[in-house]
Homo-oligomer: A and B are copies of this chain.
Amino acid sequence: MNEKQHLTMKDIARELGVSVATVSRALSDSPSISRERRQAIQQYAREHNYFPNVIAEQLRHSKRNPSRAIGVIVPELVHYYFSSILDGIEAEASSRGYQIMVAKSNESYDREVQICEAMLKNKVCGIIVSQAKDTEKYDHFEHLASAGVPLVFYDRICPALNASRVVVDDYMGTMNAVSHLIETGCKRIAFYGASMNMVIAKNRFNGYRDALYKHGLTLDESLVRICDNRADAERITPAMMRMENPPDAFFAVNDETAIGILTVVKRLGYNVPDEVSICGFTNGFRATVCDPMLTTVEQRGAQVGKEAADILIGLVEGTLPADHAEKRIVKTRLVLRGTTRHP
């Protein structure tokens, strides 16, 4: 019933009394095989549902043709932004005939190194990666690069490496969002961001700062906090609101944090958005679930993934020169909802 052994060209050749070479050529529709034989062989193959052994094909072609598997390293899987990116990568890859091999770094440097090794062994044709928070050494990436495996960074890029990358426009995204808060009457805007050693965190902070300056406001350090998750937001926000001159708006580095702020602010009896405005960053599932719904900066993960895959495939197929570092920036979009006032 279940004939484990796949049919090979050799089998077909034996059965039809021709050589393996003839079978190979017939199946690739080479004109150097007579029409009748070609058709006979193709028909036999079809009827016995032959399909080529890619392993062998790849081995034969390893010099010229790379594999068609793209390695994707993602810090987390159960995460709106990252799964959107994965979705974008998968869509682009599959539409261009590539498969994706996915591994989760769990934000750990060691795991990241392991994964690179495994992917290299599995002969991926290239790797799309967002660095783990943990990662401060780049030797594993350099090693890949010198082994000729194209690398594309997304989200958390590696500033020390001049590699291809696609990021969202954190600076402008934040700048626009904070400008919107100011333009709807907010004067004291708090900023909850991630630790500044990540490039994206710094860019968002700069966008915040410059939006304030642009509108003639001053930066009050007491309104700036390191905070990028809900639990921390719920912990530190009450104190923030107890200040003698509390904020009238919050910009949070992601939706999750914004929701934490919203929860606390509502519990403390403030009206959102009239007394306190809140703006997040991501536009994930959560944004339309809370009450009022969250104004937030849409991060367009699927687009990021698509661009990353596009660059990688370009690098693999030689459309882009191998030594070229392609850098793309995906524009964000401010989505206005109920946690901010409207002009």
Contacts and interface: CB of A to CB of B under 8 A. Distances in A.
Interface of A: 1-4, 6, 49, 51-56, 58-59, 62, 67, 69, 77-80, 83-84, 86-87, 90-91, 94, 99-104, 115, 117-123, 143, 145-148, 259, 263, 266, 284-286, 289-291, 302, 322-323
Contact of A55 (B1, B52, B123): B123
A90 B69 contact: no
Given A84-B78, A286-B285, A2 B104 contact: no
B78 A99 contact: no
Contacts of A266: 291
Contact of A122 (B6, B69, B284): B69
Contacts of A117: 51
B104 A102 contact: no
Contact of A148 (B2, B84, B263): B2
Contacts of A102: 86, 90, 100-102
Given A90-B104, A286-B286, A99 B122 contact: yes
Most chain B CB within 10 A, of A59, A62, A84, A115, is at A59
Given A52-B121, A55-B67, A87-B104, 20 more contacts: A1-B146, A2-B146, A6-B147, A49-B143, A51-B120, A55-B58, A56-B59, A77-B83, A77-B87, A78-B87, A78-B302, A83-B83, A90-B102, A90-B104, A94-B103, A94-B104, A100-B103, A284-B285, A289-B290, A291-B291
A292 to B, nearest CB: 10
21 contacts: A3-B148, A4-B148, A54-B121, A54-B123, A55-B55, A55-B59, A55-B123, A59-B59, A77-B87, A78-B80, A78-B87, A78-B302, A90-B102, A91-B104, A94-B104, A99-B101, A99-B118, A99-B119, A259-B289, A266-B291, A290-B290
Counted per complex, copies of this chain come to 2
Nearest to A117: B51
A87 B104 CA distance: 8
A290 B266 CA distance: 12
Contacts of A84: 77-78
Nearest to A145: B2
A104 B72 CA distance: 15
A256 to B, nearest CB: 8
Nearest to A84: B78
Contact of A54 (B122, B290, B322): B122
Given A101-B69, A122-B69, A284-B285, A3 B51 contact: no
A78 B104 CA distance: 16
A100 B99 contact: no
Contacts of A148: 2-4
A164 B69 CA distance: 27
A110 to B, nearest CB: 13
Contacts of A285: 80, 284-286, 289
Which 6 A-B pairs give the minimum distances between C-beta atoms? A4-B148, A77-B87, A289-B289, A286-B289, A83-B83, A55-B59
